[in-house]
Chain A
Amino acid sequence: MSVEEARALLRSARLARLGCVAGDEPYVVPVNYAFDDECAISHSLPGLKITAMRERPRVCLQVDAVKDQFNWKSVLAYGTFEEIVNTDERARALSLLLSLFPRLTPVETLIAEDANAPAPIVYRIRIDRVTGIREG
């Protein structure tokens, strides 16, 4: 698959598996994301994956489009985890996420229900390498 085709899938998809390293073990978790300016943007409550990415910011995102077993694409994007802490950038990132995912995610649900809930972490994965394979 060409890099252009791989990037196109990465830009259009909304669901990826985030791969990070916790201790010395791999950790794979599905995440919803928005793609903006060569970065994947997402958010999370504090937890294992945030702790892991803070410790080891080199991560990957895997995205696929599977029609059937003879027609599928898989893209692997490598990048670096960065927390978005600037207030304006954070607000912009959150509004982008909410525009794509209007149904409340667990994070907003918690915030809506409990004012004392921990603040969600908003982050970007700055993508620096994309590879893709396909069949069909």
Chain B
Amino acid sequence: MLEVKDMSQGEMVALLLRGRLGHLGCSRDGHPYVVPMNYAYDGECLFFFTTEGTKTEFISANHEVCFQVEEVTNESRWLSVMLFGRAERVTRPEETERAVQLLTGRNPTLTPALNETKIGAWKRFNNVAVYRVRPHSIHGRKTV
């Protein structure tokens, strides 16, 4: 028999820390948008980067986002965490540098978004937006 229960704060933080790929949910005018996204979590805030496009347009229109991270072994063995917060664009150079260090430390090959931009190095952020989400709530469920 499958039983589902809420995850503890510690379990949710641990899952966010060890994960690399999640799903970003945005909404604008009542319409949702969901995309897979690499991320980094420093125990307090979640960071992700994207090229200018649909995602940045959605976030500009509505900064509230939902970031969902899961570990699915099969349909009766899984964990899933949802983090809700406001996505703020990171613009100060030292903050950007730190966010990029976090992200590149975990995603050294810069995929999937960056390789499409054909930029040669992380130092050139011209059309790359780095976002920070400071969560106002985190929820998680898991199978027992």
CB–CB A101/B68 < 8 A: no
Assembled-state Cα–Cα distance A39/B92 (Å)? 46
A67 proximal to B (CB < 8 A) = no
A115 proximal to B (CB < 8 A) = no
Assembled-state Cα–Cα distance A118/B26 (Å)? 30
Assembled-state Cα–Cα distance A30/B68 (Å)? 9
B31 proximal to A (CB < 8 A) = yes
The A interface, classified by DSSP as helix, strand, loop or mixed, is strand
Which residues on B sit within 8 Å (CB–CB) of A74?
Answer: 35-36
CB–CB A105/B2 < 8 A: yes
Assembled-state Cα–Cα distance A60/B31 (Å)? 8
Known: A32-B75, A74-B36, A105-B2. A62 touches B23 (CB 8 A): yes
Shortest distance from the beta carbon of A19 to any chain B beta carbon, whole Å = 4
Known: A24-B62, A24-B64, A29-B82. A62 touches B36 (CB 8 A): yes
Which residues on A sit within 8 Å (CB–CB) of B105?
Answer: none
Contact count A vs B, C-beta below 8 Å = 108
Shortest distance from the beta carbon of A31 to any chain B beta carbon, whole Å = 10
Which residues on A sit within 8 Å (CB–CB) of B76?
Answer: 103-105
Shortest distance from the beta carbon of A100 to any chain B beta carbon, whole Å = 9
Which residues on B sit within 8 Å (CB–CB) of A61?
Answer: 34
Which residues on B sit within 8 Å (CB–CB) of A112?
Answer: 1
B97 proximal to A (CB < 8 A) = no
Residues of chain B from 26 to 56 with CB closer than 8 A to chain A in the complex: 26-27, 30-36
Kindly report which residue of chain A lies nearest to residue B64, judged by CB atoms: A25
Taking Cβ atoms with an 8 Å cutoff, the residues of B that contact A are: 1-4, 21, 23-27, 30-36, 62, 64-68, 70, 72, 75-76, 78, 80, 82, 84, 107, 109, 111-112, 115
